Structure 1
Amino acid sequence: MDEDSLYTRADDLWFSDGTLVIRAETTIFRVTKSILAARSNVFKDMLAFPQGEGREAETIEGIPTVYLHDSAADVEVFLRAIFDSSYFMPAPRPVDIDVVLGILRLSHKYDVSYLLHRALEHLDVPFYFSSMETFLDSDSDHFIYRLDTGCLLRTIEAAKEVGALWLLPILYVRACQEDPADLTAAMASDTNGDAQKCVNGCFIFSREYSASLQFLANSTVVGCETPDSCTHARFVALVVYFKAIAQGDGLDPFKPWNWDYISRRGMCDGCLTFYKESREETLQNLWGRLPSIFDLPSWEELLALKTAAMSEASS
């Protein structure tokens, strides 16, 4: 059978002077062996050995061929990042999440340290924060925040695959902010338990959301200047809270509370300060427990892991 009918060429990655064909699924790429070996330690070692002779040596159009057990989509973005220096630019340049994940997986697998470091930096921007304050102040319009449930679960899986555990607490938080129905539906095809873990996280966060607003039940604050007005303001806030629960919007304990709204309803400055501090204390406690909620090492251990991995990837 004609080879052209068996395989699909990746035209932008089919170089006429290429000395190696890479096959992934039914897609073939013709690239320069020396450049690939210079970028990847795994390919350097792999190509240093003879590829066999006779029937053992696979060739396409007479060119030595290597078959990779990776998806064609991942191999394409990986090779494109190697052979086109403008394709995968450093963060914070916007880039498609599946491009990041494909390069992340294969740069880790084939030991291309500079691409691994770049991919991790792209994910660090939206998914790693050194404190709760930086997390709450983060740019909610960042392009990666617009990921759907499936993308978030794929990102969690890829982060686990390459050992980037420090990304997981916020990834799980983001996934738990998705529609629980979408997470439940994802459980049908979930083979590693991540969707189930997120569903469990939704229930935990629902309880934590209530705990973060426990201040609304505190009817006496020392130094309250206007008890009747403050009681009314707390009542109005409770109505807002129950409406959020009814609308399915009560699963995110980190969602900013509208203090201006309460203040305009007549709450005095003393009560407002007390309630802000009470909620801050509750959220700080939750932040400290985030890793353990998702069966991860402590924040300190995750930071040490991140520091070591990023240092190794940049060397």
Structure 2
Amino acid sequence: MDEAYTRVEDLWFPDGTLIIKAERKIFRVTKSILASRSSVFRDMAAFPQRAGDDESIDGCPVVLLHDSAADVEVFLRAIFDSSYFMPPPEPVYIYSALGILRLSHKYDVQYLFRRALRHLEVPLYFSSVGAFREPVSDHITYTVEGEVDTPRRFFAIIKAARETCAEGLLPVAYYRASQYPHDALLTGPSEQAEDAIKCVKAGLILARENATLAKNFTSVGSILCGTPTECSSARLLALDMYLSSVEGENDVFPVESWGHAEWGYLKEHGMCPACIRAYRTVHATAVEKVWERLPRIFDLPSWSELAEMKRVVMGGIGLG
């Protein structure tokens, strides 16, 4: 065997009948199990590619995959170790989930594809703005110890979602990426440049949406208000609080602005129930409009179109 390849010991089965090479890693697995999971591997195993000058290793046919070794490793682990990639809410590292998503789509392993997509949908796909604004118990690990938080993971999600027809993940992934400072967005690898510029432009649009939401604090009240002086004072405090929360260049969170704590703050500072109800109604309507426009801000199909695309993909139509 070529010493330039590193054997992955716990994915090197002595009774394995197929050798897989990816970059500089090599795996020995059971051909029949792969074939039972994937029509693509079934065909590939029947007609193995030549890997350099080798046609076989230890009597096993060799398949050379043009995928990253990291993706191939997590993909094979998910197939050969039933405890490795459990359904949500079991914890999973983001890049493992993305690698499995990519290769299970490419090699038509539908149960793994759906499982990977369900993991990613927990923090990234919501049927309504109300669902988005509810607290989410995110089971995905995004960084390892010592790693700096950057928008890289969201660009990786965007790339994988495009490759696998999982467009429903894109609006929130773009939205999250847009919340990073401009210098963090624009100093990444060149292949991210187009998406980075899109996020910077979208951030400016979202900042304007923040300004529109802020204006509501100066223009909305209730005709049933019985304490106009107190409500006016609370309104100015609320406006100051809101503007302070969005003063940075990357503080573009209009869809998430003003939750239960903030409405309680208005009550504590003397705003009457009638004015609070009026503000909540106007604010909810404004946030709903931002949510509905969110896909369009990133040049994506509408929410209803994305929901239909999700239905098709999760139904197994057109996979592979």
* Structure 1 residue 275, shift from structure 2 partner: 0.8
Distance 1:219 1:122 in 2: 41
Query: 2:42 aligned with 1:38, yes or no?
Result: no
Specify the alignment match of 2:146 in structure 1: none
Distance 2:239 2:142 in 1: 30
Distance 1:194 1:13 in 2: 36
List runs of 5+ in structure 1 lacking aligned partners: none
* CA 1:38–1:291: 2 relative to 1, 3 Å: same
Distance 1:10 1:178 in 2: 37
Distance 1:314 1:44 in 2: 18
Answer with 243-252 or 294-303: which moved more: 243-252
Paired letter, 2:311? T
Query: Which of 266, 287, 291 is equivalent to 1:287?
Result: 291
* Number of residue pairs aligned between Structure 1 and Structure 2: 310
Conservation of the 8 A alpha-carbon contact between 1:153 and 1:175: yes
Alignment of 1:61-76 (within 5 A): 61-76=58-73
Alignment of 1:1-315 (within 5 A): 3-4=2-3, 6-49=4-47, 58-139=55-136, 141-144=137-140, 148=149, 149-186=151-188, 188-191=189-192, 193-218=194-219, 221-248=222-249, 250-257=251-258, 258-312=262-316
* Structure 1 residue 255, shift from structure 2 partner: 2.6
* Structure 1 residue 49, shift from structure 2 partner: 3.0
The two structures have a TM-score, normalised by structure 2, of 0.90
Paired letter, 1:34? S
* Structure 1 residue 252, shift from structure 2 partner: 0.6
Conservation of the 8 A alpha-carbon contact between 1:114 and 1:314: no
* CA 1:222–1:286: 2 relative to 1, 3 Å: same
Task: Calculate percent identity across the aligned residue pairs.
Answer: 48
* CA 1:237–1:248: 2 relative to 1, 3 Å: farther
Distance 2:204 2:140 in 1: 24
* Structure 1 residue 163, shift from structure 2 partner: 0.9
Answer with 297-306 or 252-261: which moved more: 252-261
What CA deviation, in whole Å up to 9, does each residue of 1:79-118 have, x standing for no partner? Answer: 1111111111011211111110000000011111111111
Conservation of the 8 A alpha-carbon contact between 2:93 and 2:142: no
* CA 1:270–1:295: 2 relative to 1, 3 Å: same
Aligned with 2:283: secondary structure? helix
Conservation of the 8 A alpha-carbon contact between 1:24 and 1:69: yes
Paired letter, 1:160? R
Paired letter, 2:55? E
What CA deviation, in whole Å up to 9, does each residue of 1:207-226 have, x standing for no partner? Answer: 11111222112165312211
Distance 2:132 2:117 in 1: 18
Distance 1:242 1:292 in 2: 26
The two structures have a TM-score, normalised by structure 1, of 0.91
Q: Kindly report the root-mean-square deviation, in angstroms, between the aligned alpha carbons of the 2 structures.
A: 2.3
